[in-house]
Amino acid sequence: MRLDDHPTVVAAKRAPRAERRQTLPADWLKDLARLHGADDVGLVEADRPALADQRPYITQIQPETRTLMALAKRMNRAPVRAVARSVANQEFHAVYDEVNAAAREIVRALEAEGVEACNAVAAFPMETQLPGRNWLVAHKPIAVEAGLGRMGIHRSIIHPKFGSFVLLGTVLIGPEADAYDRPINYNPCLECKLCVAACPVGALKPDGGFDFLSCYTHNYRDFLGNFTDWVDATVESRSMKQYRERFSEGETRTLWQSLSFKPGYKAAYCIAVCPAGEDVINPFLEDRPAYVRQIAQPLMDKAETVYVLPGSDAEEHVGRRFAHKTAKRVRSSTRAESVRGFLAMLPLAFQRGKAGDLDATYHWTFTGAEGVIATIVIRDKKIHVAPGHAGKADVAIHADAKTWLAILNRDYAMVPAIVLRKVRVKGSMKLFRAFGRCFPG
């Protein structure tokens, strides 16, 4: 049978073909999104300069993307504010499912119109084997550019109407739209610092700083990181007694629950207590002490286990601010797979409390499997990482890349590495050790 005579080919040639659209009406796209469940929607051109750093990730999913459709779904506030984490987590997971379902139906409707489109997955990233960051489409910066809100001190998007009680998604669309949205001209964040007060690990700072690793270590304890830690504990333990020194019965059951159903966030308190947004703010304006007493205080008063890295700012914060909560030391769940990944992770893992008054410039030279040079400056409780060697070094470190990664991953010890000159330090060893204290775990 010739290809032209195949029944599928014959049927395809007889069927009317949808006209390929070059430009799509923005109003039509937004109506379509709302029809399929979006509570708010905005459109951004894919080549907008503010999203240039996101473009390479977007094109991995759909190369011919000219329009980004940002979606917002509203969460119910009372469940998110619940002290019972099961109630709060169910709300998060249910709305994430709704976001993905809405995006999928939008794509189906667009395909029916002959429009190329793809829904980018919302919720926790699934590309865990990617080098570097393990997600592709970053919904937050797209939502900001689409006019769906601004980032608050708590590092979540605050919608002007729904406040922090929104979850986001993105649909990638092939053709251009005839109009695009712009960021809103103000930040809905009230800078009330309630999120700072409620954070059990002190990850949110009054001046807007953010301790990513402390947040990740506790809030995402039931996600991927905890699973890898559990695997380590299972393999390394010689007895159940030794295993239970790392994982209690309750933690083992929690891990089973997360694997069997869906993982639970330990403390989305920063979102729960946020009073921003037109639909949210009135109780806060009418009686602020009552708002704090009824919404924030129960979360802060909750007796719970808080997961911290040994010697971290979070461990100190729990003891000082939340003595009624139990700080449990755990291993860092992040493993360095490349020198470039190590350098990229440093600003996220940096503990400014441990930096204290450290003022030093470090020149790093990696050799062997990865030839990389970098300058790291720690000053005024801030860290700056840059390629190349810049300025005068207080400490110069030469390290074999493979050996350094093994040290970071606890597969090799620092002392023999220095003795065997696989790691060479020129300058003050005191400053070198001070560098290490800035990254506990």
**Please, what are the averages of pLDDT over each run of 10 residues along the chain (441 residues)?**
89 80 92 97 97 93 95 97 94 95 96 92 54 75 97 96 97 97 97 96 93 91 81 91 91 87 89 98 97 97 95 95 95 82 91 94 96 96 96 96 93 93 95 94 74
Domain boundaries, the chain: 21-177, 194-329, 339-437
How far does Cα 73 stand from its chain's mean position?
Answer: 18
Residue 340 neighbours by CB under 8 Å, 6+ apart: 132, 370, 372
pLDDT, position 130: 42
Alpha-carbon distance of 181 to 223, in angstroms, equals 35
pLDDT, position 281: 98
Q: Which of 75, 97, 267 is nearest to 166 (CA)?
A: 75
Alpha-carbon distance of 418 to 220, in angstroms, equals 35
pLDDT, position 363: 98
CA end-to-end distance (rounded Å), the chain: 66
- C-beta atoms surrounding 343 within 10 Å: 18
Residue 17 neighbours by CB under 8 Å, 6+ apart: 114
pLDDT, position 123: 60
Cross-strand bridge partners of residue 40: 72
Alpha-carbon distance of 49 to 51, in angstroms, equals 5
Return the CATH number of 21-177, one of 1.25.40, 3.40.50, 3.30.160, 3.40.109: 3.40.109
Cβ proximity of 333 and 230 under 8 Å: no
Fold of 339-437: Nonspecific Lipid-transfer Protein; Chain A (3.30.1050)
Cβ proximity of 51 and 72 under 8 Å: no
What kind and span of H or E run contains 244? helix 240-246
Cross-strand bridge partners of residue 70: 42, 170
pTM over 0.85: yes
